[in-house]
Structure 1
Amino acid sequence: MINVLFVCLGNICRSPIAEATFRELVKKRGLQDKISCDSAGTAGYHIGQLPDQRTIKNAEKHGLKLTHRGRKLSVADLDAFDHIVVMDEANFKDVNDLYYKTKHKTPSADKLFLLRDHDPETRGIKEVPDPYYESEPFFEDVYQIVWRSNEALLDYLIEKHQIVKTEE
């Protein structure tokens, strides 16, 4: 089983929608027995809370139900997940620093990377923008970014790990 963790700051906007869209893509390809995912935040502001209501509303518009409860990234996550996919540079630095501090080495580019490293429309922008202080339409932009980035990420993981759908 390949385990993927999506990380943002508070775990109530970007990483929950990234987790939900990725899970949906995995399901559509029939790979639930091969790939799993979760999400976390680098800060503990929203531990135990459901995602932001605007994130929930936007997800529902796309047929996704968000039930994830906010949690903070833990040291145990660094070993439990094969890939840690971060939404922006500041949180990437925080995860990288935690990894270095606890593992005494820098994580590989295979282990820790930005989600938009896989965005076919990145146009040089490497971060998923944080919609928290923005209006509802901005949440749709974030959804579109994570959806297309996750499609490419899933293709990458299938190829990298030579994942083959189990015949039923």
Structure 2
Amino acid sequence: MINVLFVCLGNICRSPVAEGVFRDLVEKRGLQNAIRCDSAGTSSYHIGTLPDRRISQIARQRGLELTHCARKLSGDDFYQFDYILAMDESNFEDIRNVSYRSSGFYFPEGQLYLYREFDQLAGEVLTVPDPYYEDIAAFEDVYEIVERCGQNFLDFLVEKHQL
């Protein structure tokens, strides 16, 4: 089983939609017995809450129901997950710092990525933008970004692990 964790700041916008989209892609390819995913936040602002209503609305319009309850990244995550995907550079650094503080090592290169490294349209901008203080169009953009990243990351896993 390959375990994948998506991480953003509060775990109510970007990472839960990345998780939901990725899970759907995995199921459509019949790989749910080979790949498992979850999401977390680097902060504790929203622990226990459902995803933001705006990202839930966008997902629902595309046939997905987001049911993840926000949680904070923990030291155990570095032992349970094979891949961690950060939504932006700040979260990437927070993940590295948490991994070092909790386990005494940095989560290995080749297993920790900025999610937009898997977006062929990203150019030099490797950030999945935080839509929280933006209008609904920003949430739609985030959905499209994580969908592209999800397809490409899944292709990466299938090829790397010969699934």
What TM-score, normalized by structure 2, do the two folds share?
Answer: 0.98
The alignment of Structure 1 onto Structure 2 pairs a total of residues equal to: 163
CA–CA distance in 2 between the matches of 1:80 and 1:22? 18
Aligned-residue offset at 1:52: 0.4
- What corresponds to 2:16 in structure 1? 16
Helix, strand or coil at the partner of 1:40: strand
Partner AA of 1:27 in structure 2: E
SS at match of 1:91: helix
Structure 1 position 82 matched with structure 2 position 82:
yes
AA at the equivalent of 1:83? Y
Residue of structure 2 equivalent to 1:124: 124
**Aligned partner of 1:139: which letter?**
F
Q: 1:147 maps to what in 2?
A: 147
What is the CA distance between 1:45 and its match in structure 2? 0.6
Measured after TM superposition, the shift of residue 103 of structure 1 is 2.8
Write the mapping of 1:54-73 to structure 2, written as runs, cut at 5 A: 54-73=54-73
For the 8 Å contact 2:75–2:103, the answer to whether it is kept is no
Could you tell me which residue of structure 2 aligns to residue 166 of structure 1? none
Identify the range of structure 1 (109-118 vs 26-35) with the bigger mean alpha-carbon deviation: 109-118
- The answer to whether the 8 Å contact 2:86/2:114 transfers is yes
Partner of 2:92: 92
Runs of 4+ in 1 over 3 A off after TM superposition: none
- Distance in 2 separating the partners of 1:105 and 1:72: 19
Alpha-carbon distance, 1:111 to partner: 1.6
Q: CA deviation at 1:108?
A: 2.1
CA RMSD of aligned residues (A): 0.8
- TM-score scaled by length of structure 1: 0.95
C-alpha contact (below 8 Å) 2:8/2:86 kept by paired residues? yes
Deviation at 1:99, TM superposition (A): 1.2
- 1:153-168 aligned within 5 A: 153-163=153-163
1:59 & 1:107 partners in 2: Cα distance? 30
Partner AA of 1:158 in structure 2: V
Query: Which consecutive unaligned segments of at least 5 residues does structure 1 have?
Result: 164-168
Gaps of 5+ in 2: none
